[in-house]
Amino acid sequence: MALLTLKKLCLKYGEQIIVSDASFSLEDGDFACVVGTNGSGKSTLVKAILGLIKPASGEVIYGDGLARTQIGYLPQETRVDGNFPATAEEIVLSGCLGHMSIKPFYCHHEKKHALECLSALGIGKLAKKSFSDLSGGQKQKVLLARSLAATKKLLILDEPSNNLDYKSRKDFYSTLKKLNENRKLTIIMITHDLDADDLIGNKVIAIKEGKVSVADTAKYLEAYK
């Protein structure tokens, strides 16, 4: 069974149709880049996948034991004050909340998991550093580690490289590819960059005038040369 399946999904704001009749599946280990013009419905589509908005019709089906609460999500605007008095480790620990049931505090397991997520991104040495003292690229990796702490199967990113310079963006993309390849983590990433260097996944989900199409990245790039 596919990890994620959309069946005839229709999304609306009021009476306006944003996405119409979207049907596709993603398997374990897929890396899909979501593309489209501003206002085309990219963020709306991922919010439906996350269960944050209710479809007008159709359905989102989670497979392979995936639960909605076990999806890692890095939104376009992450509400963490740059001056928030917390360490990188404490920020990442907050990603464990979705699978802690009613426990009132973090235990050894969660703390170990948070450190493993930081180490997986090559920033384990930043664990005790204040979040406010980190560079922009380091902060984004810490936030990615927090999203990673929430999931073992599916990570969704909404334009994660928006505020990064060229070098930091390339480094961030390299980290995502390693997560996808080494952990077989399925990733959905919204991007406004349409260069071949930025479409780093194996699939492209394109949204145009409410219609959703899915293609292998190589075929998509060939069609739009």
What is the predicted pLDDT for the residue at 107?
74
Q: How far apart are CA 205 and CA 22, in angstroms?
A: 10
Selection from 58, 52, 48, 61 nearest residue 10 by Cα: 58
Of 38-42, 94-98, 100-104, 206-210, the least confident = 100-104
Contact 19, 10 (CB under 8 A): yes
Element (H, E) at 107: none
What is the predicted pLDDT for the residue at 104?
56
Q: How far apart are CA 158 and CA 74, in angstroms?
A: 6
Sorted by sequence, the CB contacts under 8 Å of residue 119 that are 6+ apart come out as none
Mean pLDDT of 112-134: 92
Write out pLDDT tens, residues 136-157: 889 989 999 999 999 989 999 9
More confident position, 123 or 106: 123
What is the predicted pLDDT for the residue at 161?
84
Mean pLDDT of 179-195: 88
- pLDDT value at 84 more than 80: no
* Percent of the chain residues past pLDDT 90, beyond the cut: 62
For residue 78, what pLDDT band results from cuts at 50, 70 and 90? low
Both tokens of 188, joined, read 């959905």
Q: How far apart are CA 162 and CA 62, in angstroms?
A: 29
Q: Which amino acid is at 12?
A: K
Mean pLDDT of 37-53: 93
What is the predicted pLDDT for the residue at 185?
94
Mean pLDDT of 209-220: 94
Q: How far apart are CA 161 and CA 169, in angstroms?
A: 6
User: Is 58 exposed, middle or buried, given 0-12, 13-18 or 19+ CB atoms closer than 10 A?
Assistant: middle
Helix residue ranges per DSSP H, 72-161:
88-93, 108-120, 136-149
Both tokens of 198, joined, read 């930025």
Distance of CA 1 to the CA centre of its chain: 21
What is the predicted pLDDT for the residue at 52?
93
Query: Computed over its alpha carbons, how large is the radius of gyration of the chain?
Result: 18
Write out pLDDT tens, residues 159-178: 988 878 888 888 999 999 99
User: Is 87 exposed, middle or buried, given 0-12, 13-18 or 19+ CB atoms closer than 10 A?
Assistant: middle
Give me the chain's average pLDDT, please.
88
Question: What three-state secondary structure class fits 93?
Answer: helix
Sheet with 203-208: strands ordered across: 71-74, 154-158, 186-190, 31-35, 203-208, 211-216
Question: What three-state secondary structure class fits 210?
Answer: coil
